[in-house]
Structures are given as structure tokens and as C-alpha cells.
Structure 1
Amino acid sequence: MVRLACLLLAVAGTALAAPAPGPDPAAAPEAALDVTVSAPAGTFKGAARPDVEAFTGIPFAQAPRLAPPVKYTTPFDNFDATIYAPACPQFIGTTKPGGDFFGQIVNFLTNTPFLQAALKQQEDCLNLSIYRPKGTALGAKLPVLFWIYGGAFTLGWNSMYDGGSLVSAAVTSGKPYIFVAINYRVGGWGFLHGKEVTAAGASNLGLQDQRVALEWVADNIGAFGGDPAKVTIWGESAGAISVWDQISLLDGNNIYNGKPLFRAGIMNSGSIIPTQSSTSKKAQAVYDTVVSRTSCKGAADTLACLRQIPYKEFFDAANSLPSALGFESIALAYLPRPDGKWLTASTDDLVFAKKYADVPFIIGDQEDEGTIFSLMQSKISGSTEGIVGYLNSLFFDQATPEQIRAHVLTYPTDLTVGSPFRTWAFNEVYPGYKRLAALLGDAAFTLTRRVLLRATNSVRPNTPAWSYLASYNYGTPIIGTFHASDIVQVFFGILPNYASKNIRNYYANFVYNLDPNDASGGTSQNSKVRDAWPRWTPANPTLIQFYAAYFTQLKDDFRQASYESLEKYRTFFQL
């Protein structure tokens, strides 16, 4: 158990989009000279780096506790956008005494004075950062890449994602663009539900924050040299799920002031998530648990009480539920749910109802999505019945044991077919680990992606989509090409190999031309790619498979029995 805890601690930061290699969020960006931009939202002083201009920590809205974001109505005057702003309150490890072992360790480490000072967590946290090529002029009308971080809807902040290297690489490739990274509320601050919250219009606050940030970009990005008509939204993990949520929000209405807020989406490891409503028994239980662990228990208006109790009291109560780093894994307490307004139904149902914005998209996964989410389940039996009981009690409480068993049986007990995939009989951490890792990764990410692709193609066959499977960490013991390993490979480009360079080129082409293969436009065609990426269609369900030194193509029909089972039981497998 200790060995597993140490291993998980080593990868958890990356896997849940916790601090990947990047700048210290407490420090200012490398600044040489200041640069000032005047926009409708105010005047902002940024920092000029050698090849990038950075405007960090710009407030875009206020965040009253458990209430919708409130836009600023008075422009800022000479706002200092050269330093990183605070993170929203984080839910990394459980605060509950006697909670899961690893969650307790993480909670202890993340509440040390050093990390608390570095994150500067506070409720007034809705800010965004803008990175643009040095010398970008007013009227340049550069495309915009709008980043939504991941972190299981419980952690993450924008200053861990310094976009400087992405913008520099885009300039080198001849496809200069502007990069925007936002903060949105997570955990109990952004995704607490229940009948009280829903009635107050305060469900899915994190998604509401994202939408207001997109509106800020529409109103102001032109002053920074960006084109509000050419915005691509991009996210990883919970951020990728958020991208599809934004595509589905308000039944697909992404129009603001008569124009679309975005024209395309990129989803790394995440898309549709079948979920129960914001007033469901499961959602209400989370709200009631939070209330019961505060002085609001028994209050006539518990929501009003939660809004006014001291920050520390609400923090401890909201974070007392199991975290994603423990035994419960991705059976998350906090996540987007249908609330009747922002999300009128589960996002998978909205796809089949054709209630989503008609935009082209890229979607893909890491080959071994489920490994890091299956490391802490050694106490369950590795048998079929053990896995069925685990899924029935924590994940799919609306399904019958027979339905869950039928799905589990599509995953053989043979170690050679579990995850990390293609590793023969190796990497079985505990009995049933590889089988559970394959199942969880498919249910949350890899095969759900295929459900989305087939569904969107059935209702809108003319909307292009491209899909991938990343295998560039193939051979890594125990975790393989694990969930969120693309943050290191693609976002930061820490390993300047064939994969990182060419994936960035695909994305730059897509941002410019809505086609990852099209290198036209920009300042040059240095973003030309050698490997053609075929469009995904039911007639040609082909993925591009990314390896560190080369790319190949893969037919998207693996684990077909599991896919058909997942699609069959989709409405019963709601979280």
C-alpha cells in the first residue's frame, strides 16, 4: 500500500492536472519591459518577454460563494497584469478525519504553509491570462486558443499553464495565435448541486464561470490583437469534458451578441459524461453531507447559511468528501450535472437530441486512461463479483448488478489484454488491477469518445471530426501512457520529440483552418505535417496513433464488445 501511495503521489499532479512543469504561480513572469493594452474592460499592463507578451491575472468576474458569476461593470485603470493571480479554492485531498489514507497524505502536504502561500487560494479567483506573440498589433486578428484546465472538477488553476511556449512554437510554425487560460470554480465552490442550489440558479457554477470568460474574450480580445470570430476552445480531462459541456450548454446555443463564442473544439481525454440530474438522490446526498458538517445543520435556509459561514468552515466541509485520489476514484462528488437550464439533460442525451453547437472538433485519449485511477482499489476482490460490487456501490447505482456484470464480463480476466495495454502479463499491481484499469479508462474516456463520434456523425454527418490514441509513453511500468501525460508531452513540450512538435502543428493548423492537415495561411507553412490525419467517419473509423518517434493509423474497433455494452447500458450507467 505504501508503495502504491508513493507511486500515485508521483503521478497524481500530472494525472489530475495538478502542477505540471511550469512557472511558480507565486512568482511574476519573466519581465523585461512592460506593454499596455486598452480594452473595453480597462487598461492592462503586461510583461514583454523575449518573444511573447503576457497579461496575467486579469479579473473577468466576481465569484460570490454559491452564486452565479457577476461581471464587472467598471473598467480597470492601469491594472497590473504582470503577476499571477490567486487560484480558486482547491479540493486535492479529503479533510475528513479517518478518510482514505492517500487523500489524508495529500491533504496534509497541500495544506503546508509553503504550498498554501504559492497557490494563494481565495474565493475571489475568476481571472484569466493572455499570451500573444511579441509585437502583436491592434487589428492583427489572430486566432484564439482558449484553454480550460482539467483536475477532476476539484482542482486546477490557470497560472500552472503558462502559454508562453505554445505561443512561441506557434510563431515558429508560421501559425501565430493568442492563448487564453482561465480560472473557474471547482469542487464545492463550482459544482455543488442539490434542490436548494438548483432552485437558486447556482448549479454548474464552474461552467457558468467558463461561459462568462468566453464572453469577456468576445468583448475584449480584439484589443489584444485577437479575432473573436476565430476562437477554438481546448481542454484536457475535466477541461475536455467542459469543452463538450460548453458545446452543449443552453442546448447548443453559443451565440453572444449575435455571434458564436467559439467555432471549434479540441478535447484531450474527455467528452460526454452520462450523469444524473442536479436534484437526484446522489447529488442531494453530497449537498446534505456538506451541510451536516457545518454549523448550518438545522438552519431554515441552509444555502443562505453556507454562503455566509467562515471560509475555513466551508472549505473543510466541502472538502470532507472522498477525493479522486482515493478508493472512490472517478466516482466524483463534484461534477457537472443536468440542471434544467444550463444543461437541460445529460450531455450524451443532448447529442442524440441534436442539442449542441455544430462545430468541428478533435478528440482523443491516452492509451492507458484508467491506470492511475485504479491504483488504490487493492482491497476489492479482483474477481468479477468484486468489480461488480465496487461499480454498483460507487458508480452505477441506477443499474442492476446483472447489467453491470454483463458489462464487466466483456473484459477478460486474461492479464495480457488489460491496461496498461500490450504489456503481456506484466504490470498487475494487485489481482484485477489491469482489468479494472481497462474498464474505468474506457467508461470514462476511451470508449465514451467512440460513443460521441458515432452519435454526432449520425445526427450531423457533415460536421468533421478527427480522433487519436496517444501511445508515446508505451512501456512505462504500471501506468503506461497514462491519463494526462499529454500535458507534459503536448502542452509544455518538455520532450521536444516528433510527437510534441507535430501534435502542436496539427492543433495550430486546426486553429487556423479547422483542419489539422491544412497548413495554409499564417506567416508560413512551417506547420506542414508529414502524416495525414484521416477524418473519422463510421465508414472509415480511423484514429491516428501518436508514438514518440512516429505516427501510425489504427482502426477504431478495438474492444468492440465493451463498446456495444457501454452504448447499450448508457442510460443506466449515469454517475
Structure 2
Amino acid sequence: MRSTIACALLGLGLIPLSGAATPPLAAPQAQVTVTAPSGTIIGNSAKGIEQFNGIPYADPPTGDLRLRPPRRRSAPLDGFNATGKAKLCPQGPIFSQSSLASPRVAAIAVEDLAATFGIPAATFGIPAAEERQSEDCLTITITRPQGTQPGDALPVLFYIFGGGFLIGGTSAAVNDPVKLVQAGVEFRKPFIFAAVNYRLGGWGFMPGEEILREGSANAGLLDQRMGLEWVADNIEAFGGNSSEVTIWGQSAGAISVWDQLVMYDGDATYNDKPLFRGAIMNSGSVAPTEPVDSAKSKALYKHVLEVAGCDVVDSLGCLRNLTNDKFAAAANAVPGLLSYESLALSYLPRPDGKVLTASPHALAREGKFHAVPMIFGTQEDEGTIFSFFQGDMGSTEKITNYLANLYFHNAEWSLVNEYVGTYSDRPEDGSPYRRDQYVPLIAYPGKKRISSILGDIFTLIRRWTLDSVAASRPDVPVWSSFASYNYRIGPFGTQHGSDTSVFFGRENSYFPTKTGRKYYINFVHNLDPNVGLDAGVEWPQWTEDNDLLWYNATQNGLLKDDFRSGSYDFIKEHIDSLTL
């Protein structure tokens, strides 16, 4: 059981594969100094790489600034020591208490899990010790090849981490970019890697009427945007080219990348220049969502107030006056990421009429996005780690009730029932896919079917996004991939999050890592994954014939993007009712 949960946590970026993640740089280290418009910054130099960790780009979002849009840093940096580890923003829950009480994990004590994953038992559900977290966390981390100088004008890869808008950070081992940046040097296509910390959970994505009236919705997205602006202002001093920035995200980070494309109806300019010229989305794209003052949003805000004891006239003032521990107790009194509720997320970007003028899917359909070349990636078994705690899903009616009650509040029960009916109830047709006789380690009736449905929140919505981009902006180049590196490996298959170890953690001797890095580095340099380094298979634009680049463990190929067409056709017709 412990190994099963470990696999799930790996998929969420909480623990690394054995040998997959690079440990922190070991002492002794040389130091390097950069003088940028924001101030003087001191970083580390080792292993052919220079790193500048946790550079503040905004004032601490504490006190009266809690739950507000970020405020650009008001004081210049003066000899800022960026040699340590960037603090994580306060984290949301991984598990729900109800999940921990489930018979499926009852055999493992909380203390046992905490010891396994290095999580203090007192704060179980938070993937780091308290001293590594701080509300003063709005920072950028820069990683570049050793010896890079101002004027080198290297292209920049700007990364937004994933974690369900609840967990994660630039200092998480699974996001360590050292091997990726080293690969750029090895391939003679160097680039600079920038990663942004942004507020999570209730700190960054609190919904509600009060938040909307104040103009404080989607603070986490605005954190990311301010990080991009900091890069535009400062990256030249680090040897980067502010005109050649590509944004990349995984999972919630990929959803964030799409939201950066559609923010302000597609206006991604800053000081009369575009903030980025290309976008990569791994396991995420459009997230069809209800407004920040929807019924679900209001109920969540009310729940937080009740737990916090802030059901008063000035409820936002009350929340801002709480200690961070008390605010965390209230904001995190929601289902965890690995829970019965699963992808029915409490906190995520929502339309507010300004930052997001409508649901991101509506903006895609209307062509209101920053029209740049894009790559979309998906894993074959996106839903397996999110179907751990549902229990009996052994009938169409049970799955319908689950989705209608937790996910699709705007859809009639009969419509949800019809949607569920587009998925086969035969276990051999479910996820992990292509395993006719395979029984998951943790099995329950309907498990593989609900895994398919939850996974298509990523996989088929990706196809819908591609269709929408192609229809509204046929001039925009788009590519898409499908990963099967872990076919027949473990109980989760090629699970959500498999790509993080492939792109970040592994050595170039691993075939998917070497080819995947080449495609992405080509894109960062040339806005085309085929131009530059030879990665083997020619990756056709998706609009040519709806072909996907198909990553496999020992060879790549092409795959037609037409699987589960009945479910896709239903989504395409009814997406306006299938909002979260």
C-alpha cells in the first residue's frame, strides 16, 4: 500500500522517482553576482550551472495585502542573497481526513505516512516542514548556464509549476531544472530557465462575492503575470532575451499557461511588448469554470468564514487579521487533492469580469487569446491517481450522481447521465488503458471507468482546446503529444505527472527524456519543435491531420487523435453545461 500511495504522490510532484530528481547543489559552491534593474543579486555556481533562488518580485502579501492582487516590490534589492532555497507559499491539503479514514489507507498510520514522505505528522497533508513555508513567497528562481553574461541574449523558458492550485513550489525537487539546463548546454542550444512562485489555495484563489466586489479575484494568476513582468524588466542582466520568452506549465501550471494566454481578453503586453512568444501546456489547457461569485464559490467562501469565525460585516478584514496558522486552518478546511472529491477542486482560477472576462473555454472559442505557437501534451492515463478514493462506482447511476453532485452543477442530471453513458463499463476499456486482463492494485467496481472520465478532463479537453484554437485562429501553429512511457508499468500506467520526471529528473540516456528535451529546446529557440536539434520523428502540426507525437519508452511515433470519439463529440456539443 505504501508504494501505491508513493506512486500517487510522485504523480503530484511531491516525491521524486528513485534517482530521478537532482539533489540540492552540494557545498562548496562558488558565488556569482548579477546587477539587475531590481538590484544586486548573489547566486550559486556549480556543476556548470548558476542558480539564483527565491528573488522577490513583489511585496510580501501579508496583513492587509493578503487576498489582494500582488504589489510590485517597493524596495530595491541590495546584495540579495539568492543562494538558499526559495520558500514555498503556504500549501493546501493533499489528503482529506475522510480519505485518511478510508479502508483503502486504514492500514497505514498517519505517522507512518509522514515518516515515509518526510512530512511532520502534526501538519500532515502539507508537503514540507513549516519552516520552508512563508506567506512572503512571491519569488522568481533563475537557472542559467555557467558563465552567461549580459548581452548573450539567450532564450528564456518560464515555468509555472502544477499541483492542483493547492500544492507545489519552485523549490520542489520534482521541478529542479539543473539537468534540463545542462541538456541545453550539452546540445549546444543553451537557454535560461525562470520559475515563478505564486499563491495557492485560499491565499491565491479565494472565491466569493466580497472578493469580486473588491477586485481581488485570481490573485495567483496575477502573481504569475507580475513574475513575467519581472523577467521582462530584469532578464537581460542575467544574459537572457526578453523578446524570446516561452511559458511552460504542467497540470495546474498548464491551466495557468492557458489563463495567461486569455487574461485581459488576450492582452499579454507589458511596456508595449509581448511578455512571451510561445506556450507549452503539459496535462492541462482550458478549464471550463463558473464565475468567482457562482453558487459553489459563495458556499466555499461562507464555509471558510464559518471555520475562521469571520462571519462578520467586514469578513475580508477579519480574514486578513488572522494569523497565517488560523487562516490556513480555515482556508484548508476543504477536500484534499487526493480525496473522494478529487478533481472537483475548491480553488482554481474563475471568471471575474476583468482578469478573466469569461470562462477560459468561452475565450478560446471566441479567439480572445494571445495568439502564439503552442504545444499541448497529455499522458495516456491522466485519471488513475485521481480515482483512488471514490469507492463503488459500479453503475452509470452511481457515477452520474458523483459527477452531478460534485462537478457539473450547471448540468441536468439526465445530461450528465448521458455523458457517462458514452464511456464503456467494461474494465478492459478503462484506464490504465490497453490492459485487457489488468486489475488495479486498489480495485473497486467501476474504478477503471471513473479513471477514464476523470482523465479526460485533461485529455479530451486538450483536443477541444486544439479544435477551438484551430477554428478561431487557423494561422496559429499548434502541436500536440501523447505519452505512453509507462505502458504496463505499475498500477497507474502513464499517470498524470509522469512527464515531470521525464523532462526534469532523468538522464539523457533515457530515450523519452533525450527526445522530449530536444523537441522543447527546439521550440524555445525556434518556435518549432522540429527546427534545430534532430529529435527523430518529425512532429507534424496538429492541424495537418490531427496526429499526435506518441512518446514511448524506446521509440516515438504518431497516433491519430480520434480515440473516445463518442465522449469527445458529447463534450464538444455540451461543454457550456460541463463547467466546474
TM bin, normalised by shorter chain, reads over 0.9
Task: Please state whether the residue corresponding to 1:293 is helix, strand or coil.
Answer: helix
Looking at structure 1, the residues matched to 112 and 352 of structure 2 have their Cα atoms a distance apart, in angstroms, of: 31
In structure 2, relative to structure 1, the CA distance for the partners of 1:58 and 1:19 (3 Å cut) is farther
- Unaligned stretches of 5+ residues in structure 2: none
1:390 to 373, 395, 402: 402
Task: Please state whether the residue corresponding to 1:504 is helix, strand or coil.
Answer: helix
Counterpart residue number, 1:53 = 50
Looking at structure 2, the residues matched to 346 and 29 of structure 1 have their Cα atoms a distance apart, in angstroms, of: 45
Q: How does 1:24-173 map to 2 (within 5 A)?
A: 30-62=27-59, 63=61, 64-93=65-94, 101=102, 105=110, 109=114, 110-112=119-121, 116-117=128-129, 120-160=132-172, 161-173=175-187
Q: How does 1:119-518 map to 2 (within 5 A)?
A: 120-160=132-172, 161-297=175-311, 299-378=312-391, 380-428=392-440, 429-442=443-456, 444-493=457-506, 496-518=509-531
Shift, 1:500, TM fit = 0.5
* Structure 2 residue 543 is matched with structure 1 residue 546: no
In structure 2, relative to structure 1, the CA distance for the partners of 1:14 and 1:95 (3 Å cut) is closer
Shift, 1:507, TM fit = 0.2
**Alignment check: 8 A CA contact 1:37 1:223 kept:** yes
In structure 2, relative to structure 1, the CA distance for the partners of 1:125 and 1:563 (3 Å cut) is same
In structure 2, relative to structure 1, the CA distance for the partners of 1:176 and 1:116 (3 Å cut) is closer
Looking at structure 2, the residues matched to 7 and 325 of structure 1 have their Cα atoms a distance apart, in angstroms, of: 15
Opposite residue 471 of structure 1, the aligned amino acid is: S
Looking at structure 2, the residues matched to 388 and 440 of structure 1 have their Cα atoms a distance apart, in angstroms, of: 12
Looking at structure 2, the residues matched to 154 and 309 of structure 1 have their Cα atoms a distance apart, in angstroms, of: 20
Counterpart residue number, 1:532 = 538
Looking at structure 1, the residues matched to 113 and 539 of structure 2 have their Cα atoms a distance apart, in angstroms, of: 45
Shift, 1:415, TM fit = 1.7
- Residue by residue over 1:350-407, the C-alpha shift from the partner in whole angstroms, topping out at 9 and shown as x without a partner, is 01111100011100100000111011111x3311111001001111111111111111
In structure 2, relative to structure 1, the CA distance for the partners of 1:425 and 1:228 (3 Å cut) is same
Shift, 1:16, TM fit = 2.0
- Unaligned stretches of 5+ residues in structure 1: 520-526
**Alignment check: 8 A CA contact 2:376 2:480 kept:** yes
In structure 2, relative to structure 1, the CA distance for the partners of 1:30 and 1:464 (3 Å cut) is farther
Opposite residue 482 of structure 1, the aligned amino acid is: Q
Q: Percent identity?
A: 44
Opposite residue 320 of structure 2, the aligned amino acid is: R
In structure 2, relative to structure 1, the CA distance for the partners of 1:97 and 1:536 (3 Å cut) is closer
Counterpart residue number, 1:523 = none
In structure 2, relative to structure 1, the CA distance for the partners of 1:501 and 1:259 (3 Å cut) is same
In structure 2, relative to structure 1, the CA distance for the partners of 1:31 and 1:281 (3 Å cut) is farther
**Alignment check: 8 A CA contact 1:418 1:435 kept:** yes
In structure 2, relative to structure 1, the CA distance for the partners of 1:186 and 1:550 (3 Å cut) is same
The farther-off stretch of 155-164 and 446-455 is: 155-164
Opposite residue 502 of structure 2, the aligned amino acid is: Q
In structure 2, relative to structure 1, the CA distance for the partners of 1:116 and 1:514 (3 Å cut) is closer
In structure 2, relative to structure 1, the CA distance for the partners of 1:352 and 1:138 (3 Å cut) is same
Counterpart residue number, 2:560 = 555
Question: How many pairs align?
Answer: 558
Opposite residue 82 of structure 1, the aligned amino acid is: T
**Alignment check: 8 A CA contact 2:206 2:347 kept:** yes
In structure 2, relative to structure 1, the CA distance for the partners of 1:260 and 1:31 (3 Å cut) is farther
**Alignment check: 8 A CA contact 2:50 2:144 kept:** yes
Q: TM-score, normalised by structure 1?
A: 0.93
Opposite residue 276 of structure 2, the aligned amino acid is: F
- Residue by residue over 1:178-232, the C-alpha shift from the partner in whole angstroms, topping out at 9 and shown as x without a partner, is 0011110001111111000111121111101000000000000000000000000
Opposite residue 219 of structure 2, the aligned amino acid is: L
Looking at structure 2, the residues matched to 259 and 317 of structure 1 have their Cα atoms a distance apart, in angstroms, of: 41
Opposite residue 146 of structure 1, the aligned amino acid is: F
Opposite residue 382 of structure 2, the aligned amino acid is: E
Q: TM-score, normalised by structure 2?
A: 0.93
Shift, 1:97, TM fit = 8.3
Opposite residue 268 of structure 1, the aligned amino acid is: N
Looking at structure 1, the residues matched to 504 and 122 of structure 2 have their Cα atoms a distance apart, in angstroms, of: 29
In structure 2, relative to structure 1, the CA distance for the partners of 1:10 and 1:329 (3 Å cut) is same
Looking at structure 2, the residues matched to 107 and 47 of structure 1 have their Cα atoms a distance apart, in angstroms, of: 36
| RMSD, aligned CA | 2.0
In structure 2, relative to structure 1, the CA distance for the partners of 1:111 and 1:342 (3 Å cut) is farther
Counterpart residue number, 2:10 = 14
Shift, 1:426, TM fit = 1.3
In structure 2, relative to structure 1, the CA distance for the partners of 1:30 and 1:256 (3 Å cut) is farther
